[in-house]
Amino acid sequence: MADRPAGNPSSTRSVVHAPNGMVASSQPLASAAGLQMLRQGGNAFDAAVATAAVLAVVEPMQTGIGGDMFALIYNQKNKKVEALNGSGRSPRKATREEYVSRGYSHVPETGILSLTTPGAVDGWAEVLEKHGTMSFEEVLQPAIDYAERGFPVSEIIASQWNRGTSLLQETKEARDTYLIEGKAPREGEIFKNPKLARTLQKIAAGGRDAFYKGDIAKEIAAYVEKEGGLLREEDFFHHTSTWVYPISTTYKGYEMYQIPPNGQGLTTLELLNILENFNFSNMDHNSADYIHLITEAKKLAYADKDHFISDPHFSSAPVEQLLSKEYAYERSQEIDGTTARENVGPGLELVSDTVYLTVADKDRNVISFINSLFTPFGSGIAAGDTGVLLQNRGKGFSLEKGHLNTLEPGKRTLHTIIPALVLKDDKPYMSYGVMGGDMQPQGQVQVLLNHIEYGMNIQEAGEAPRFRHFESGLAVESGISSAAYMGLLDKGHTLFVDRDVFGGFQGILLNPSTGMLQGGSDPRKDGCAIGY
């Protein structure tokens, strides 16, 4: 790596500074589309939808209009945080008994029986209708242009596309729509998606109803039924997003907001509460003691996640108890500073692939926004001639009787995608996310600690080497020192080195001292933060 003439030598990029508006996403073309909306007089919410729509075209393995979305919003008009749950539900015909009768013991990971109703388009419409100033036609135009005229495939996306080739080859529709002569596009190759362009044009002209109550839903449902799936027109027709009260906790003077269950944001907050009971001033960053502490705290918070988080309309989590400082202290006392713990259970009894983006505008409206198909290319189903890849969130359900997330008709599964929004002194301070399935709470906490406890700027905080705990062991990035590696082995951790499981960070910090915007974007992705 070349030496940097200034700043942290371990960081590969500078912080992006701007006075008026900023967009951070995993693709430069998408960030530029959002910035275009801001320059044309749109606000952060208009720009977010434009950015998400372009991402749906240029990162089809990560996101799309066949997926789900969540958003945390701070609107300067009412000066409060609002939360939007734009996740879809299981088909009304989807029952545990139906799957068992077909010989399944688990919901398939991909394919026609892994589908849930797409929630993204309705979520986009809600953002625009409640907070935006521009029309669907205006904000979708950049995405339509890239789908119709083509775009050059970026480096990391080309690699991920290639890894998804076998799934896309399983059906004619996916193969014809998302491969070029049976192969994934190479880096720099121009890829066009005319089918998706036509679908986006219909949404631009007719809004959400064009997707949920018109020809698009009809064509998707007819294809799914023909192939033996359960998703029907009525599932589209009755779908609604939900504005919910956000949940939050404080950490040393900062207030972190998350979306309540069915999302896993509760896990991030509980993890922060547990860690607040420890003194980081005597721990070196990414030392064995530091990584061990966060990993052991993660085990506790994730045990509660697995035991409690589901669709609250079917099973209600004890959110207030789980987020209490007293409960966090009790859990913190279970951590042994010298030994890795196994078989961690919940502290109470019960009474993926994704894109993240964030936008701040000249008025300091802020949106933290995430959109996902779940795993790469979702279900692998591109329905009919719509060009729409459908998500495989059904995989999140269990077919086990009595399980918290057992499959039931019209149910939202436990959701991994979580945007984060941090306030300081009741004002927006930091909007960020770390995409990547179960990595998201772990990554969000690591980034926040990097900034608050170790004084890193937003780029350094998002770029610093990360670690991720799985049931099978602890993955560490190559930037973690050999001393830390050996120290973790001494504490009983099973370790492995990986390059591709640590998620992707995007973030904007609103500097209270200068009033300026500061952006960071993860070199683990192809994206950038840009402003004006």
Instruction: Show the DSSP H helices in 309-383 as ranges.
Output: 319-322, 325-332
Say if 215 falls within a structural domain.
no
Strand, coil or helix: 243: strand
Position 29, amino acid: L
Say if 445 falls within a structural domain.
yes
Instruction: Show the DSSP H helices in 183-282 as ranges.
Output: 194-206, 208-212, 215-226, 233-237, 265-275
What integer is the mean pLDDT of 256-273? 94
Task: Give the pLDDT confidence score for residue 319 in this predicted structure.
Answer: 85
Say if 33 falls within a structural domain.
no
**366 and 73 Cβ atoms separated by less than 8 Å:** yes
Reported pTM: 0.94
Say if 7 falls within a structural domain.
no
Residues linked to residue 431 through DSSP beta bridges, in sequence order:
421, 508
Task: Give the pLDDT confidence score for residue 460 in this predicted structure.
Answer: 97
What average pLDDT is seen over the chain?
A: 94
Distance of CA 126 to the CA centre of its chain: 18
Distance of CA 254 to the CA centre of its chain: 22
Query: Pick from 524, 515, 509, 443: which is nearest to 24 by CA?
Result: 509
> Which residue range is the domain that position 249 belongs to?
244-352+418-505+513-531
Say if 389 falls within a structural domain.
no
Query: Pick from 310, 366, 356: which is nearest to 506 by CA?
Result: 356
Strand, coil or helix: 2: coil
Instruction: Show the DSSP H helices in 62-187 as ranges.
Output: 96-101, 120-131, 136-149, 155-163, 165-168, 172-178
- For residue 429 the two structure tokens come to 């301070």
Give the C-alpha separation, 397 to 405, whole Å: 5
Position 236, amino acid: F
Position 317, amino acid: A
Give the C-alpha separation, 45 to 434, whole Å: 20
Say if 172 falls within a structural domain.
no
Catalytic, 171? Answer no
Say if 192 falls within a structural domain.
no
Least confident of 38-47, 106-115, 342-351, 449-458: 342-351
Query: Pick from 383, 407, 356: which is nearest to 89 by CA?
Result: 407
User: pLDDT, tens digit, for every residue of 140-158?
Assistant: 999 999 999 999 999 999 9
**79 phi, psi to nearest 5 deg:** 50, 50
- For residue 114 the two structure tokens come to 């892994």
Res. 349 pLDDT band, cuts 50 70 90: very low
**404 and 310 Cβ atoms separated by less than 8 Å:** yes
Q: Give 472 or 355, the one with higher predicted confidence.
A: 355
Task: Give the pLDDT confidence score for residue 6 in this predicted structure.
Answer: 66
Q: How many domains does the chain have?
A: 1
pLDDT at 368 over 50: yes
Strands 16-18 and 254-258: unpaired
Query: Pick from 447, 437, 465, 454: which is nearest to 507 by CA?
Result: 447
pLDDT at 103 over 90: yes
Q: List strand residue ranges (DSSP E) for 32-124, in order.
A: 68-75, 80-86
**255 and 423 Cβ atoms separated by less than 8 Å:** yes
CATH code, 320? 1.10.246.130
Q: Is 437 annotated as a binding residue?
A: yes
What integer is the mean pLDDT of 509-525? 97
Res. 44 pLDDT band, cuts 50 70 90: very high
Exposed e or buried b for every residue in 94-106, given b needs 16+ CB within 10 A? Answer: bbbebbeeeeeee
Q: Which of 267, 354, 358, 375 is catalytic?
A: 354
Query: Pick from 156, 227, 222, 224: which is nearest to 188 by CA?
Result: 156
Task: Give the pLDDT confidence score for residue 346 in this predicted structure.
Answer: 52
Concatenated DSSP letters of 407-474: --TT-PPPB----EEEEETTEEEEEEEEESTTHHHHHHHHHHHHHHTT---HHHHHHS--EEEETTEE
Give the C-alpha separation, 58 to 207, whole Å: 21
Say if 54 falls within a structural domain.
no
User: pLDDT, tens digit, for every residue of 187-233?
Assistant: 999 999 999 999 999 999 999 999 999 999 999 999 999 999 999 99
**243 and 82 Cβ atoms separated by less than 8 Å:** yes
